[in-house]
Amino acid sequence: MATITVDDVEIKVKDDALLIEELLANGIEIPHFCYHPALGKDGNCRMCMVEIEGKKRPQIACDTPIKDGMVIRTKSDSIQRVKRQILEMELINHPIDCPVCDQAGECSLQNYYMDVGLYESRLSTTKTRGQKHVDIGANVVLDQERCVLCTRCVRFTKDITKTKELGVLNRTDHSVITTFPGKPLSNPYAMNVVDLCPVGALTSSDFRFHKRVWFLKPDEGICNGCSKGCSIYVDHHKAKYEDDTIFRYRPRYNDRVNGYFICDDGRLSYKIENKNRDSYAQIRGNESEHEYATGKLVRLLKRHHGKALFLLSPSLSLEEMVEVKRLAKYYDAKISGYDINEHDPKFGDDYLKCSDLSTNRRGFNLLDIDDKEANLVEYASGSEMLILIGRDDASGFDKYKNISVKVSINASMPKSAEIYDLFLPMKTHMSREGSFINIDGYLQFHKTHVEYGTQTQSLCDIVTTVLEEQSSTCRDIWDKSLTSIIKNIDLEDIKKESIKMSSL
Amino acid sequence: MGVKIVPRHGDSLKEKLYLLAIVGGLKVTFSHFMKNLKDTSNIETICYPEEQPKDITSRYRGVHRLTKREDDSVRCVACFMCATACPAECIFIEAVEREDGVDEKMPSKFSIDLLECVFCGGCVEACPCDAIRMDTGIFSFVKKNREDFVLDRDTLLSHKPMKGSN
Ligand code: SF4
Ligand code: SF4
Ligand code: SF4
Ligand code: SF4
Ligand code: FES
């Protein structure tokens, strides 16, 4: 520990860290372009200048090691003047096309200029032009004129993905970011450069022009693309007279799971979520009233009491799993989690992506839900009714002639609705809360509330409706059953951070 | 998001008292009242709607129009500043990529619901491109259906500025 004085306030900091890291960690604003915690320092933008007592000239905070007793000023007149000059230089060739730039509203250049800008051009020469809206691959659009040459994107492809698609071409004010001829940006994590780019030089063609960022409401969720369960922001907006819609996912920093990044497949999976929110109840392929369909589920369960088999998806939350278990017990039904579909050997890699595509397979283990094939065969042979939850693979059970009734409760519409006597939609992943255990055994909480325009209920609410009970929150379900199973971790703890489970 | 703090006016004691300003306003009202009372024949009235007002100034905030570039194409770049500033949230924009090389972005849909609009002029003030103005001089807008009060992009583009405004 070291003690330093920043703007006349003493703070305690780690002594082996870089100055900028500790200043940012203590909530002190230090403008910066090239420094990024995942990519380290580069020292090229000079935006992070601070005044250090005893040093003649301003120093860059991103390449200054901490020394005990340092006295630092971040807001003095001379520092503000330096920042203003650097920004003036950044803007010499900048097109200032904020009205058409997607980054406006979350742009570092814009934000810093708001604080210390000159607001008055002293320039009479023409600007150096660059290429605009160039598709460089992987849904990334490059605008060379807006670039501040911080090289974050170059360092990302060099150090993180090691694919090295991007580089700086030419010298002086003709320097531009570019790809190599015939070698577009293409790696499974490429779209992270859009978040990394502090300005609007790299934007996403998938998000571009669909929504201004200041309208978006970021919910903190967990990606359900695979069993890694990366932390993400779910940016959604309910425009006037329109339905709540998800516009993008962004990585949310979580040092225990995904660090600063997510994969492109996960990032683009929001589209499925949007589509699934239109699902509606069906009886043998015909649209049905929601309440009538729920009533029908109750009648079917009563008729086949003791002869039903619940088949669970390994992507349900822990809360949903215990609730369905309770429902199965009430109707004396069997329950199984055997599943081969949520697995894709081609998806996984050695970074974040995992071949197990389910979000909570370890939950089966924890909650004692059987997922052995042999047991499923035995249960299926003795059942009359099959209830698939969160999955759509009823066709695999055609050979069991004893199963006369098939029901599906799922977020997405069934591929062939006629094979189900009843289809009941449930809320999608991003429209409800829940706890999940990822592939590395981290217990995490997911809370997103993308609104529904329809009557569709969450799976937990469907269970309580069927059992004619009051609807219960995650807290209620933890108090009732999960706290006695997960003894050393509480729901409130995982709301703050992901916690590794020791007992798995 | 960056926020620029603009200085607030009206902080002096005289301004904070309000009373002086109210007295000043009442003085104007009463002087007109007395003037008209003395000479009723001179009160300006017109037989509206047969007779239309002639004293609408170029600063009058009428129904909106979308301005055009020199090549007669839409000037608006769908930046949403107007929709963001609008207190009535009655501007509905959908943005698309502009393919003709003039600019990068433009509105595929731009409509204003005049029944919700409070004619505050906030949208004109907010526009960084001078793409929306309220200088058409249109002060009366009568339609039979609610839907007809929602002006679409092409209608807004077709509105002309009133004579005398620039
Ligand atoms: S494109 Fe963006 S991230 Fe890359 S160097 Fe330019 S400003 Fe930095
Ligand atoms: S690695 Fe898996 S959990 Fe992470 S973003 Fe990709 S699909 Fe989602
Ligand atoms: S005049 Fe005011 S209320 Fe009407 S559209 Fe413009 S900003 Fe909205
Ligand atoms: S009218 Fe002006 S403020 Fe509104 S979207 Fe168009 S350019 Fe932006
Ligand atoms: S952040 Fe320190 S020089 Fe760029």
B44: pLDDT strictly greater than 90: no
The domain tally of chain A equals: 3
What is the span of the domain harbouring residue A159? 98-204
Q: Check pLDDT > 80 for residue B4.
A: no
Q: A81 and A105 share a domain? A: no
pLDDT of res. B6: 79
A62, A86, A155, best to mutate for ligand 5 pocket (most atoms within 8 Å of CB): A62
What one-letter code names the amino acid at A85?
Q
Residue B129 forms contact with A (CB below 8 Å): yes
Instruction: Tell me if A104 and B4 make a contact (CB, 8 A cut-off).
Output: no
Mean pLDDT of chain A: 95
Same domain, A399 and A460: yes
Q: One-letter amino acid identity for A84?
A: R
Average pLDDT over residues B67-75: 96
Give yes or no for residue B25 having a pLDDT over 90: yes
Within a domain: A231: no
pLDDT band at B58 (very low <50, low <70, confident <90, very high): confident
Judge contact between A422 and A408, C-beta under 8 A.
yes
Domain match, A309 and A195 both: no
How many CB atoms are closer than 10 A to CB A96? 14
| pLDDT of B20 over the 70 cut | yes
Closest partner residue to B84 among A114, A214, A240, by Cβ?
A: A214
Last residue of a domain, one of A35, A61, A90: A90
Segment A387-406 shows an average pLDDT of: 94
Q: Same domain, yes or no, for A72 and A117?
A: no
Which residue has better confidence, A187 or B15? A187
Q: Rounded mean pLDDT of B35-62?
A: 89
What is d(CA A390, CA A313) in angstroms, rounded to the nearest whole number?
A: 5
Residue A342, in any domain of the structure: yes
The predicted structure's pLDDT at residue B2: 64
pLDDT at residue B107 is higher than 60: yes
Is residue A274 in a domain? no
Is it the case that residue B145 has pLDDT exceeding 80? yes
| A28 pLDDT above the threshold of 70 | yes
* Per-residue DSSP letter, A127: P
Interface probe with A: pick from B80, B117, B129, B150, most Cβ of A within 10 Å: B80
Which residue, among A96, A147, A86, A153, has the nearest Cα to A117 in the 3D structure? A86
A427, A326: one domain: yes
> pLDDT (tens digit, 9 = 90+) per residue, A419-430?
999 999 999 999
Mean pLDDT of A138-161: 97
pLDDT at B32 over 60: yes
With a cut of 80, say whether residue B65 has pLDDT above it: yes
Helices (H), chain B: 13-17, 19-38, 81-85, 122-126, 153-158
At residue B165 the predicted structure's pLDDT band, cuts being 50, 70 and 90, is low
Which amino acid is located at A361 in the chain? R
Which pairing describes strands A334-336 and A308-312: parallel, antiparallel, or unpaired? parallel
DSSP state at residue B157: H
Rounded mean pLDDT, A391-413 = 94
DSSP state of A147: -
The answer to whether residues A83 and A102 belong to one domain is: no
Q: Which pLDDT belongs to residue A132?
A: 95
**Residue A115 maps to which CATH number?**
3.30.70.20
Alpha-carbon span B131 to A347, nearest angstrom: 48
- pLDDT band for position A15 (cuts 50, 70, 90): confident
Q: Do A38 and A86 lie in a common domain?
A: yes
Q: Which residues of B86-118 are buried (b: 16+ CB within 10 A; e: fewer)?
A: beeebbbbebeebeeeebbbbbeebbbbbeebe
> Is residue A226 included in any domain, yes or no?
no
The percent of residues above 70 in pLDDT, for chain A, comes to 100
**Whether pLDDT at B166 is above 70:** no
Distance CA(A219)–CA(A478), nearest Å, equals: 22
The pTM assigned to this predicted structure is 0.91
Per-residue 3-state assignment (H helix, E strand, C coil) for A83-109: HHHHHHHHCCCCCCCHHHCCCCCCCHH
Q: Based on the domain organization, do A172 and A297 belong to the same domain? A: no
Q: Which of B110, B111, B115, B118 is nearest to B143 (CA)?
A: B115
Cβ atoms of A114 and B2 closer than 8 Å: yes
* CA–centroid distance, residue A86 to ligand 5 (Å): 11
Q: How far apart are alpha carbons A157 and A148 in whole angstroms?
A: 17
Does A66 lie in the same domain as A105? no
**Single residue among A151, A185, A204 that ends a domain in this structure:** A204
Q: Is A210 on the interface with B (CB under 8 A)?
A: yes
The beta-strand segments (E) located in B114-157 are 132-133, 150-151
Distances (CA, A) of A490 to A322, A478, A485, A499: 16, 8, 11, 10
Neighbours of B48 (CB within 10 A): 9
Residue A322 lies in a domain: yes
The bound ligand whose nearest atom lies closest to the alpha carbon of A356 is: 2
Inter-chain touch A100–B2, beta carbons under 8 Å: no
User: What is the arithmetic mean of pLDDT over A462-487?
Assistant: 95
Please give the span between the terminal C-alpha atoms of chain A, in angstroms, as a whole number: 36
Q: What is the pLDDT of residues A339-382, one digit of tens each?
A: 988 999 999 999 999 999 999 999 999 999 999 999 999 999 99
Q: Is residue A248 part of a domain?
A: no
B86 lines ligand 3 (CB under 6 A): yes
Give the number of other Cβ atoms within 10 Å of residue B85's Cβ: 16
Residue A20 has pLDDT above 80, yes or no: yes
Distance CA B154, CA B74 (A): 9
Looking at this protein, which amino acid is placed at residue A477?
Answer: I
Q: Is A117 found in the same domain as A63? A: no
Are residues A486 and A360 located together in one domain of the fold?
Answer: yes
Q: Is residue A236 part of a domain?
A: no
> What's the CA gap between A370 and B93, in Å, rounded?
52
Q: Are A82 and A49 in contact (CB under 8 A)?
A: yes
Q: Are residues A386 and A324 in the same domain?
A: yes
Residue A271 lies in a domain: no
Peptide bond into B49 cis (omega under 30): yes
Nearest to A70 by CA among A125, A153, A120, A4: A4
Whether A331 shows a pLDDT value over 80: the answer reads yes
CA A224 and chain centroid, separation: 9
Does residue A312 come out as left (phi exceeding 0), alpha (psi in the -120 to 50 range) or beta?
A: beta
B122 CA to middle of ligand 3, Å? 6
CATH of the domain at A37: 3.10.20.740
- Dihedral (CA of A418, A420, A421, A423) sign: negative
Whose tokens are 């403008």? That residue is: A31
ipTM (interface pTM): 0.88
CATH number at residue A425: 3.40.50.740
Q: Domain ends where: A184, A204, A224?
A: A204
- The per-residue DSSP string of A340-360 comes to SSSB-TTT--SSS--SB--S-
> What band does B163 get if pLDDT is binned at 50, 70 and 90?
confident
Write out chain A residues lying below 8 Å of B95, CB-based.
209-210
CA A90, A92, A95, A98 torsion-angle sign: positive
Chain B residues close to A106, C-beta within 8 Å: 1
Average pLDDT over residues A98-125: 92
Residue B103 contacts A where some CB pair is shorter than 8 Å: yes
How many Å apart are CA A313 and CA B165, to the nearest integer? 67
